[in-house]
Structure 1
Amino acid sequence: MKFLSLLLLSLMLNFAAAQTNIDETVLLESNREQDFYIAANEGDQIILEVKRTDGKKISEFSLKALNSSNNVFTERNFKKFKAGITSLERSVYQLHFENKTTKPVAFTVKVGIETHGKPFAELGYKTLYDTIYGPEQKVMETVESFKTKTIQKENFYLNSKSNALVKGGKDRAVFPVYLPENTQEWFYVLTANRDEDAVRNTAKTFSLASELSKYLDTKVSTVSNAVTNLNAPPGAHICDVYLLKEEQANLFRERENFTFYMDGTRENYKSGIVQVKEMPTEKLFLGIKNPDNLYGIHVGIEVVAVIKQEETIVKFKRTPEIHKRKVPFVK
């Protein structure tokens, strides 16, 4: 054979000259299998003796070198087997027995190793862990995601401060911000210009919701970081934008002293995209003022919210199970 040579021994085979690795009496039930393992170095002689003691013939007995996966031999339907084998490789050998009959069979197994004066190969066992997945099971899972939604668009005109004082025009505008439930943060994009057509045309190009949605990846932070990558719309003339609570919005409208949130407030602002993380429980307002004494200004603004949403979906999962097994090896 390619890896091992089989040498038949005489019936007077002397086990005394070899190290006895296996000396077992086996009762093998119907349709069962049993394995034994030995270790041998290259050049060792493996001495085998199998003898049936009760029942029918032994259905099958094979010897396999695990290192090379070489099947040394297979013996079928026998009562007695006696042989010597010269190992052509350092390996663990598997002795495999099968009972394919309908009744139990008993037999003895003796295995010795003759090393011819060299050290004996030592058999060891190492533990391996295998991950096995069980059958698919139906589970309900809540998935969290985020979406953007345009909630307001405004175009309006603000008079100059002098016009507001002398002629009764309005140099300030206030409008509430209607944030949907589960809003995580929100943004507004603004443009200001004395030219009405310029503002109207620029406002038509506002697409902040769709631009931000490209960066959504179940994490709001990715949207926040996206703002620096977006291009601000054109703008030519300044205005002041304040983020206000309702009480302060009324004071702002009446030209009284007021306070505002720094987050979301911009002064001397021509255009841009503003991220707002301020999320108080009460309603918020944006107050916009024209600080110019002589010229009125047109303003276009769009407000976009980032909303968290939850959806229950059906998934099929296979549960992993860790199985431990011992594998023989030559130490």
Structure 2
Amino acid sequence: MRILILLLSLVLSVVGTAQNRSDQGTLSLSPQQGQTHDIALFEGDQLRWSVSAISPKKAEVGLMRLYDDQEQVLLEAQDFESRTFEFTAKKAGVITLWFQNLSNENVQYKATYSVTSTHKKVPTIAYRQQKDTTYGFAVKQWISHRKKDVVPVQEEGYYLNSTSNALVKGGKNRILIPVQLPEGTQEWYYSFTASRDKEQMENTLASFQLASQLSTYADNDQKLQQAISTLSPPPGANICDVYVMRSEAQAMRFKDKEEFSYHLPSSRENFKSGVVRVKDRRDAYIGIRNPDNLYGIHVGLSITALVLQEDRRLEEVQIPIIRAYKKGYIKK
């Protein structure tokens, strides 16, 4: 484990030419404390360093490691009073010397190193900020899971009289259908078909199955909308007017054949069949009117909602441990 603590009380004395440089200093380490020192080397540079205890004199260096710039251990030694090491760099980069006092008392060490190089230029170390992520032991936490489902709301067939029948014989050429949406609805859709042939309408209503066609794409909004736009509309032979209304007051005005307002983007006039998206989360009303003066018509309506469902579960999770540090490299 690399702990980036700069060498405290290390007094550097640089001697010689660019081909030969040396540093020395004193390391004061408390029990179990570790310190690092970065050294820049070109390919072929030879590094020689020594470590020995000053106070107490017979104290041991608990642990010494040499890391490359990928944090791989190049050399390691443990439990020695005084020792000299040599290393030749196989590639240019910044290596790190790591010292750790494994004893139960404060110890001072003398550290000296020298570099012999064939390069005239002395490498300069620069630092960039980096982060590593590791994971600790698993702990139990309540985790929220969110999922979108396509939920069937209602599916019905209706018969509407002609306009003249409604006017003269008291029949109904319009119906009002309340739409009660499930909790968590994000938006909803309706498929519509109209035909003078009741059997044809009922077969279309039974076979189209809007919810099952859309359920595969519930958690991917882009694919869901693509699926809706590419669906072949259910068969339809005759026309109706379909209005989506957001308030009960406007719905009652539609029912009573008074002037009313409706949601234009999700309403259709002269509509034979198709699938319509309603970008709303609130309950609504659908009004259907047969504009034909002579013929009654059978209509089929299927309503489907896109519902966000959320539940919480007690699960074991591993907590991420993010380590931020500065990584050395040779500045060009």
Counterpart of 2:24? 23
- Measured in 2, the distance between the counterparts of 1:71 and 1:140 equals 44
Equivalent residue letter for 2:298: H
Gaps (5+ residues) in structure 1? 1-15
Counterpart of 1:126? 127
Tell whether the 8 Å contact from 1:39 to 1:330 is kept in structure 2 after alignment: no
CA drift of 1:115 comes to 6.2
- Measured in 2, the distance between the counterparts of 1:246 and 1:70 equals 75
CA drift of 1:275 comes to 1.9
Structural mapping, 1:166-245, within 5 Å = 166-217=168-219, 219=221, 223-244=224-245, 245=247
**Cα gap change, 1:290 to 1:320, in 2 (>3 Å):** same
CA deviation vs aligned residue, 1:46-73 (integer Å, no higher than 9, x gap): 6767666664486799896948989699
Identical pairs, percent: 33
TM superposition score normalised by structure 1: 0.69
CA drift of 1:166 comes to 3.6
Tell whether the 8 Å contact from 1:186 to 1:305 is kept in structure 2 after alignment: yes
CA drift of 1:328 comes to 6.5
Equivalent residue letter for 1:132: T
CA drift of 1:323 comes to 2.2
CA deviation vs aligned residue, 1:299-331 (integer Å, no higher than 9, x gap): 111122223333223452423423214537587
140, 153, 156: which one pairs with 2:155? 153
- Measured in 2, the distance between the counterparts of 1:73 and 1:160 equals 95
Tell whether the 8 Å contact from 1:92 to 1:330 is kept in structure 2 after alignment: no
- Measured in 1, the distance between the counterparts of 2:197 and 2:312 equals 50
Equivalent residue letter for 1:309: Q
TM superposition score normalised by structure 2: 0.69
Equivalent residue letter for 2:231: L
CA deviation vs aligned residue, 1:78-132 (integer Å, no higher than 9, x gap): 7676x9998887666666778788988766444445669x736345352452323
Tell whether the 8 Å contact from 1:32 to 1:98 is kept in structure 2 after alignment: yes
**Cα gap change, 1:107 to 1:265, in 2 (>3 Å):** closer
CA drift of 1:199 comes to 1.0
**Cα gap change, 1:205 to 1:260, in 2 (>3 Å):** farther
Counterpart of 2:305? 305
Tell whether the 8 Å contact from 2:45 to 2:88 is kept in structure 1 after alignment: yes
**Number of positions where the alignment pairs a residue of Structure 1 with one of Structure 2:** 311
Structure 2 residue matching 1:205: 3-state secondary structure: helix
The structure that has the greater radius of gyration is 1
- Measured in 2, the distance between the counterparts of 1:178 and 1:36 equals 70
Tell whether the 8 Å contact from 1:146 to 1:307 is kept in structure 2 after alignment: yes
Equivalent residue letter for 1:130: K
Alpha-carbon RMSD across the aligned residues, in angstroms, is 4.4
Counterpart of 1:268? 270
Equivalent residue letter for 2:261: F
